[in-house]
Structure 1
Amino acid sequence: MWASESDVIKETADLFVTLSVKKDSSSIIIKNDLFWTLANNVITNQMPIQLINEEYKRLLIKGITCSCLNNSSDEYRLHFDRSIFQILNQRLHSIVESIHTLIEEIKLNNNNKIHCTNALQTFYSESVLSQISTLINSYCGLIEGGSRCSSEQITYLFEHSQQTLQYILDLFDFYHNYCDQVQIILELFSLYAEHVLVYLNPSHTNIFYTYILRLLQIFTKCNYGKKTKEVNADEDFNAHIYTLLNCLNHLLAKDFIDFSNENSTNT
């Protein structure tokens, strides 16, 4: 029943984020075993977390990330790596590699082509599309949480996100006809541009620019001359353009606002 109390859930999630942002309270929260139980349930999307909407899950991940990265102890960052970051990345890697494998098998045009084609279609099912949205939303919450931490922690997030962003671009290409997935991926890159880019050194900045260039290339390729009869197509496309322009605006702002540490190492 509590899942239907939307306002209560949001207020609770907001309070959790507020406590997580403050170092004094976050250092207390993170020492409680229930914190890691919550983190595990949110990251693995277990019940009853499945019952709440994506906005509130994202807030919870934002708070979890704040608590972990606001703490100066390497122990908690290592725990964050193993319990949160790696789990998300493993799930993303599994999805992308499965898609790549099936596409390559189909290209070989062997006896498994029909089976592989049918298997590939399952990645367009409602359940998988929902999983993709939840996964990308999790990364959005992670970046929003990381943005409330020190520049060192923000740089750390980017250094450990490079393969992740490559995989997400692959998903962007694969799901280019699915408005919800396109929108949330564009939003993720916009969040990186807004909250992470200003802390990146020139080397990391150039790497991020290559990701944005590929994002633009995929978006252009998949929308050039595109026609559709869907009722909300114009509204969805306008939302995509707005988010993309917002992302590019943050790229331009890098020339004026730059908090980068020139000594950051490249990975």
Structure 2
Amino acid sequence: MTTTPALETVGITKSYGSHSVLRGVDLAVPAGSVVALLGSNGAGKTTLVRILSTLLRADGGTASVNGHDVATQPGAVRESISLTGQFAAVDEVLTGRENLVLVAQLRHLEDPGGTADGLLARFGLSDAGSRRVATYSGGMRRRLDIAMSLIGDPPVLFLDEPTTGLDPQSRIEVWRTVRELAGRGTTVLLTTQYLDEAEQLADRIAILHEGRILTDGTLAELKQLLPPSRVEYVEKQPTLEDVFLALVGHDTTAT
């Protein structure tokens, strides 16, 4: 991870009619880092991602991705990014391998088949590569979706609430995938409503509320905003998620 911003916004605004969604967003994401953008429904997370990915034009302010201005160099921005939305954008009629080959062909890669096989192995989907995606679990579809988004090795990846609607095991699969991406130097902007997800994955956390970034820092820095903790001895009961994972097991490669 470096301190050079891979993503940077200054004073970004966006309104729909009289409703202001973004009211001056300032955010910098260092290259090679995972930054979690937290916020409740309607906070403006997806709107900001759509602006950064050139799918939506801001009303005001400036934004750059991988050194390219979003408004004036949208083509260069698109070549630098990949976007995975809230729902897996996979073709259920095709097999997992066919989905990957199709995207590799659309990106004009020299060896679509080899690219597909490499990604299937990397994401633990080799055994399922010849199966139709309609037979995949939610976690497998999401892993395939992320694999498809990495074809062409984009330096910046947007993950817009990637674990919404997934069961606990599938969430763990996606978390493992994001950690692997971060370890390879990919810059990840992750939007989520789940606080534990941000704690698990993010190098830095930004909180978006009512169209503005309230605070931005590491988890340790954010914790310092509250009064010092005090030591108390309490009996910790297992959570329902603990019980679920204990009963079904932690093998996240199972189909």
Greater helix percent: which structure?
1
**TM-score normalized with structure 2 length:** 0.29
Higher strand share goes to which structure? Answer: 2
